[in-house]
Amino acid sequence: MKIFILMNYNYWYALSINMNKERPTKSELLARRAVFNDTHLEEVEYLERKEIVIEKSGKRKVKSRLLMSGYILVKVRPQEVEDEAGNKSKIFPPDTFDLILGTPGIKFFVNCEKEKPIAFRPKEIKKLFDMCDDAHLEVKQNMMSDFYEGDILEVVDGPFKGYDC
C-alpha cells in the first residue's frame, strides 16, 4: 500500500550559497532555526537527482547529482500583519530574513526586492521537485537492456513472431 503525501508548493524561496556547501549550509541553517526558535522557517532542501549509471562490467549503480549546485530552497510561512484600518496582509518575517542571511555560507536570496524575497510560483517549484522524484528510475531501469548493437534477437510476439532480427 502506498501513501501519497500532498506537498504544499507555496512560499518556497531560493538562496544562493557557497558552491558545493549544500549539506553543511542546510545543517547550519536548521541548527540556527532551533537556537532562535524560529517558527516561520518550515523546510530547507537542496535538490538531488538520482541517476542510474551502468558501468562497463554491466553493474548498475544509482548516483545522486545536485540539480542546482550552489543553491538551496527554503519554505518560509509568511507572517500576518494588520494595519490601522484592520486590513490583514502577509509579509516575509523580518526575523526569519535576518536569521537566514546571517547563516554562514548563505550569500543572498534569489529574486529579492529590498528585503522582500519573491517566492517561486507553485508550479515552478513542483516541477523542480518532480525532477528529483525517484519514480523515473524504475522507467529508466526497464528501458535499459543487456543487448548490444549487432546482437541477433528472436521476436516472440506480434506479427513478426518467429523471425530473427
Q: Could you report the per-residue pLDDT of 102-144, keeping only the tens digit for each? A: 999 999 988 888 778 988 898 988 888 888 776 545 444 444 5
> What is the value of pTM for the model shown?
0.70
Amino acid in the structure at residue 118: I
End-to-end CA distance of the chain: 41
Evaluate the CA torsion angle 149, 154, 157, 163 in order and state its sign: positive
Closest by CA position to 74, among listed 8, 32, 13, 116: 13
Give the Cα separation of 125 and 142 in Å (integer).
28
Give the Cα separation of 122 and 131 in Å (integer).
14
Three-class DSSP category at 49: strand
Looking at residue 154, what DSSP letter applies?
B
Q: Mean pLDDT, to the nearest integer, of 32-50?
A: 87
Give the Cα separation of 117 and 89 in Å (integer).
15
Closest by CA position to 16, among listed 112, 132, 126: 112
Give the Cα separation of 27 and 49 in Å (integer).
20
Q: Mean pLDDT, to the nearest integer, of 2-24?
A: 80
Looking at residue 161, what DSSP letter applies?
T
pLDDT tens figures, 58-108: 777 777 777 788 899 999 999 888 888 888 888 889 899 999 999 999 999
Instruction: Quote the mean pLDDT of the chain.
Output: 81
C-alpha cell at 74: 527554503
Bridge partners for 118 per DSSP = none
